[in-house]
């Protein structure tokens, strides 16, 4: 764990957070500044800086399956949800620990990929 990384500290329990999902490799918790009625961050316990640094296919699959599980548990899987991964400065990433945004509970523009 990177002790100066906020998501490492949440994943290790050093900072208390209400985890909506956790397993051996993955944790999920609400975003502190929600952009939708449901806004959950799904992150690997291991410190990985961004998607550009992910080289573990097994972990990649586990993360994606965790996103789907969080959506089912949150009751939003059927109506639909949006999943976003921001990578690097131009990708809009502000926290340098890989995370999947799971957003739901409002209608997102069809086909919109953002600005």
Query: Which residue among 55, 78, 90, 94 contacts ligand 5GP (CB under 6 A)?
Result: 94
Strands 100-104 and 21-22: unpaired
How far apart (Å, rounded) are the C-alpha atoms in residues 103 and 60? 19
Q: Which of residues 13-42 bind ligand 5GP (CB under 6 A)?
A: 29-33, 41
Contact between 50 and ligand 5GP by CB under 6 A: the answer reads: no
Does residue 9 sit in helix, strand or coil?
Answer: helix
Query: Which residue among 39, 47, 62, 82 contacts Zn ion (CB under 5 A)?
Result: 47
How far apart (Å, rounded) are the C-alpha atoms in residues 40 and 88? 20
Contact between 82 and ligand 5GP by CB under 6 A: the answer reads: no
Instruction: Name the catalytic one among 25, 39, 97, 99.
Output: 99
Contact between 45 and Zn ion by CB under 5 A: the answer reads: no
Give the number of other CB atoms < 10 A from CB of residue 108.
Answer: 14
Is residue 99 among the annotated active site residues? Answer: yes
């Amino acid at each position: 764990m990177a002790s100066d990384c906020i998501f490492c500290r949440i994943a290790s329990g050093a900072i208390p957070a209400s985890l909506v999902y956790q397993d051996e490799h993955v944790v999920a918790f609400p975003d502190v500044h929600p952009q939708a009625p449901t806004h959950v961050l799904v992150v690997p316990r291991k410190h990985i800086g961004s998607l550009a640094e992910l080289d573990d296919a097994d972990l990649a699959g586990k993360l994606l399956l965790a996103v789907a599980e969080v959506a089912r548990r949150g009751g939003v899987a059927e109506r639909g949800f949006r999943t976003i991964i921001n990578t690097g400065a131009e990708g809009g990433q502000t926290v340098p620990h890989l995370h999947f945004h799971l957003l739901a509970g409002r209608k997102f523009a069809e086909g919109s990929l953002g600005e």
